[in-house]
Amino acid sequence: MNLLKKSTGFSVSFGLLILVACQQSDDAVTPSTSAITSTTTTVGTSVPDVYKKIYGATEIYVEGTNIVIKTTGRPDHKSPYYKGTQWESTLYEAYNGTNLKFSINPNTIKAFTLTFKIPLNPVIDAAHSTAPMGPIGVSLNGVPFFNQYAAMSAPLTNEINGFDQYGGHPQQQGQYHYHVEPTYLTSKTGKSGLLGFLLDGFPVYGPIENGKAVTNTDLDKYHGHSHATTDYPNGIYHYHITAEDPYLNGSGFYGKAGTITQ
């Protein structure tokens, strides 16, 4: 397998939320020279361009009918959950978000070896399998997406108060993840930009479409809909992260899900 290597890094621009439609520029996010961290990604030569936007992966390649995405799952942005870790000196940042009820949980961020195998050409699954607890997809910076529940399938009502200023937190084993809008990413791509993929291979977009906030009434029970985007000009089913429950995924995957191993 012929492989190419690229190194990308990003810095956060606080308060910048570019409100553009899903038909945004298809250019990849431009790395900043003041990046907090960088990740070297080994990319197979046959990988479609849209997957090359996953800058936080360690390796991306095609394997049969799947796209394989390997990542440590560790966020490239700062977080209060980096305190006490080996990355504290460069990545720790006290909570400075807007949630007056914020209460840090006792966990700290750790690195993992995650391998996502998702369909290269996603197809509808008549069974619409329920999204599991744990990773249900991968975001552009390599951080996993989790479903709309806290531990033991409890509502996120209380757990939300432990989300850091970028919308994520680590679980008990230290795996950082997003249940809701990853604001570090939407500050870069625009709130209508591509944010990642779920395990069924269908893409995830931000909470704005055609200049307006996406609500549950705009989406089906799996939390998505179909039409053309800049990344997929011929049209594709895609999910949206929204400000209301279920945030990302509803009554199951729209397509046949791939696998995650760790």
Name the 3-class secondary structure at 208. strand
Predicted confidence at residue 22, as pLDDT, reads 34
116-123 average pLDDT score: 97
Helices within 127-235 (DSSP H only): 183-189
Summarised one tens digit per residue, pLDDT across range 178-197 is 999 999 999 999 999 999 99
Beta-carbon count within 10 A of 118 CB: 24
> Which pLDDT band, with edges at 50, 70 and 90, does 112 fall under?
very high
Residue 171: burial class (beta carbons within 10 Å; 0-12, 13-18, 19+): middle
Between 27 and 38, residue with greater pLDDT: 38
Domain of residue 102 covers 3-261
Report the C-alpha gap between 251 and 106 in whole angstroms.
Answer: 31
pLDDT at residue 230 is higher than 80:
yes
Predicted confidence at residue 6, as pLDDT, reads 42
**Average pLDDT of every residue of the chain:** 87
Name the pTM for this structure. 0.85
pLDDT at residue 214 is higher than 50:
yes
Report the C-alpha gap between 168 and 111 in whole angstroms.
Answer: 15
> Which pLDDT band, with edges at 50, 70 and 90, does 37 fall under?
low
Residue 262: burial class (beta carbons within 10 Å; 0-12, 13-18, 19+): middle
> Which pLDDT band, with edges at 50, 70 and 90, does 21 fall under?
very low
Predicted confidence at residue 257, as pLDDT, reads 97
Question: What residues contact residue 74 under an 8 Å CB cut-off, 6+ apart?
Answer: 87, 109, 110, 111, 112, 142, 143, 176
25-52 average pLDDT score: 64
Weakest-pLDDT range from 33-37, 75-79, 237-241, 250-254: 33-37
Predicted confidence at residue 150, as pLDDT, reads 86
> Which pLDDT band, with edges at 50, 70 and 90, does 79 fall under?
very high
Summarised one tens digit per residue, pLDDT across range 82-108 is 999 999 999 999 999 999 999 999 999
> Which pLDDT band, with edges at 50, 70 and 90, does 15 fall under?
very low
Report the C-alpha gap between 90 and 30 in whole angstroms.
Answer: 21
Summarised one tens digit per residue, pLDDT across range 149-174 is 888 788 899 999 999 999 999 999 99
Predicted confidence at residue 38, as pLDDT, reads 63
Q: How many domains does the structure of the chain reveal?
A: 1
